[in-house]
Structure 1
Amino acid sequence: MPTHQHIVRSLDEEQQRLLNEILRMGEMAASQLEAALDVVDRRDDQAAARIIGNDDAIDTMEHEISHDVMRLALRGPLARDLREILAALRIAADIERIGDYAANVAKRSMALNLAPPLPHTRGLHALGELAVQQVRDVLAAYRDNDADAAHRVRERDAELDAQYTGLFRELLTYMMEDARSITPCTHLLFMAKNIERIGDHATNIAENVWYRVHGEGILPPRDKRDETNTAG
């Protein structure tokens, strides 16, 4: 029936609009993290303050997307569409947290600037670049509805965990050798943890892309290499 076709087309258009909004929100969060890493390198308090302020825009987008998702849910979609809607809601929440962690990195950079520069910011930058790539790759998997690509992102989280553990141990050693470095190294530890958590949220998104494609299909156990709880 023409009316039925119109409803289906309208629903498809709404879902495409929702996908585009989530992708735009995700790119904003990835760009925020890149900018935060840049201000750490440049020791730029004003730019850091702008990044912190920009986090509100990501929060606002998440609220708008949540409303759009609820409006779609109320239209009585099919089971496949419900998976799409639930995945969208979860992914938007993960992106919002990624934006929060990027803002936290910028906030800590302002405190870090009160101390002389540390060489370990290079390790932080490398960790951050890995996290940015994870976020961008998982957004591409979501855009393409590619469960295999999402699974590869999920597997690569172990590499980010291992790099985080290495930086964590390096900072602890430095703190033990030079008591004056304790305060700035503590800020770097918190920043590194924020970035490691961004990797975890990219993994959550990957799992929701898998769910969107396969439903409740069982994913294999994930290799976790964050050994900071046992680091000595």
Structure 2
Amino acid sequence: MTVPAAHTVKAFDDDLERLRALVAEMGGLAEAALGHATDALIRRDPSLAAMVVAEDRKIDRMATEIEREGVCIIALRAPLADDLREVVSALKIAVLIERLADFAKHIAGRVTVIQDHRGIEPLSVLPAMSVTVKDVVRTALDAFAARDPEPALQVGRQRRIVSDFYDSLFRALLTHMMEDAQTITPCAHLLFIAQSLERIGDHAAIIAEVVHYAATGERVRDDSDDTDPSSAGTR
């Protein structure tokens, strides 16, 4: 990957580096939140789930700080071409990370609701699905940290695996609810959790696409993409 040339004004480079560092730090917090949320779900750990909910406020504050930093760079440095694309992309990625973390918080928020329901067989699929989702998120965030456009295609393939997990889990939970009406409530919560995991995968895929665009100026479009474009504003 081409390394960006240094600017005449070193302060400009410092501003861009600080923006990148803030987004990377925020991404690390969101990735940790996802890991803790899925661990809380698997272990039925309400205290860990509560920690995820509490930590989300820190991620929200970082999103505000990144927005302020990006606006200041645009206003004071008037970036052009590649620089402007990088700043705008960082702001988009911060929004996506914040939403990704919100989904992790939603997963954590349902832990206490289902912690007493251990006999739901489709629940065994969630750990494997969560591992794949975490891999998608890590690949996308690593791509941003390295400013590497190549993982965008890899993330697209990983996201389709996540969608396959969701489809399989949806059918299994629907069958479970039809066979045992007493499981309808916990199964409905599990469906919401699975949907949140799928949406996290969608947002990670868009992050990778934004990274690719920031690095190359070219957009990646997956024809099989079913992500709602209005959710990220990147299309």
The TM-score, its normalising length taken from structure 1, stands at 0.89
Equivalent position amino acid for 1:205 in 2: I
Instruction: Give 2:233's aligned residue.
Output: none
Cα deviation, 1:69-97, whole Å, max 9, x if unaligned, reads 01111111121110001100100000000
The answer to whether the 8 Å contact 2:34/2:134 transfers is yes
Cα deviation, 1:8-53, whole Å, max 9, x if unaligned, reads 3211121112111111111111111111111112212122112111
Instruction: Give the whole-Å Cα distance in 1 for the aligned partners of 2:7 and 2:117.
Output: 62
Instruction: Give 1:77's aligned residue.
Output: 79
Equivalent position amino acid for 1:111 in 2: V
The answer to whether the 8 Å contact 2:7/2:13 transfers is no
Counterparts of 1:1-232 in structure 2, within 5 Å, are 8-74=9-75, 75-215=77-217, 217-224=218-225
The answer to whether the 8 Å contact 1:36/1:106 transfers is yes
Instruction: Give the whole-Å Cα distance in 2 for the aligned partners of 1:44 and 1:76.
Output: 48
Pairwise CA distance, 1:224: 4.3
Cα pair distance change 1:169/1:224, threshold 3 Å: farther
Cα pair distance change 1:57/1:218, threshold 3 Å: closer
Pairwise CA distance, 1:6: 7.6
Instruction: Give the whole-Å Cα distance in 1 for the aligned partners of 2:226 and 2:126.
Output: 17
Cα pair distance change 1:69/1:111, threshold 3 Å: same
Instruction: Give the whole-Å Cα distance in 2 for the aligned partners of 1:169 and 1:34.
Output: 25
The answer to whether the 8 Å contact 1:151/1:210 transfers is no
Instruction: Give the whole-Å Cα distance in 2 for the aligned partners of 1:146 and 1:116.
Output: 42
Pairwise CA distance, 1:121: 2.5
Instruction: Give the whole-Å Cα distance in 2 for the aligned partners of 1:112 and 1:129.
Output: 20
For 1:72, what is the secondary structure of its paired residue?
Answer: helix
Q: Mind listing any 5+ residue stretches in structure 1 that lack a counterpart?
A: 227-232
Cα pair distance change 1:224/1:77, threshold 3 Å: closer
Pairwise CA distance, 1:138: 0.7
Instruction: Give the whole-Å Cα distance in 2 for the aligned partners of 1:42 and 1:225.
Output: 31
Pairwise CA distance, 1:155: 3.0
The answer to whether the 8 Å contact 1:29/1:58 transfers is yes
Cα deviation, 1:168-193, whole Å, max 9, x if unaligned, reads 11111111111111111000000000
Instruction: Give the whole-Å Cα distance in 1 for the aligned partners of 2:158 and 2:224.
Output: 9
Equivalent position amino acid for 2:71 in 1: M
Instruction: Give the whole-Å Cα distance in 2 for the aligned partners of 1:99 and 1:130.
Output: 16
Instruction: Give the whole-Å Cα distance in 2 for the aligned partners of 1:7 and 1:68.
Output: 20
The answer to whether the 8 Å contact 1:33/1:132 transfers is yes
With 20-29 and 107-116 compared, the bigger mean Cα shift is at 107-116
Aligned residues: 221
The TM-score, its normalising length taken from structure 2, stands at 0.88
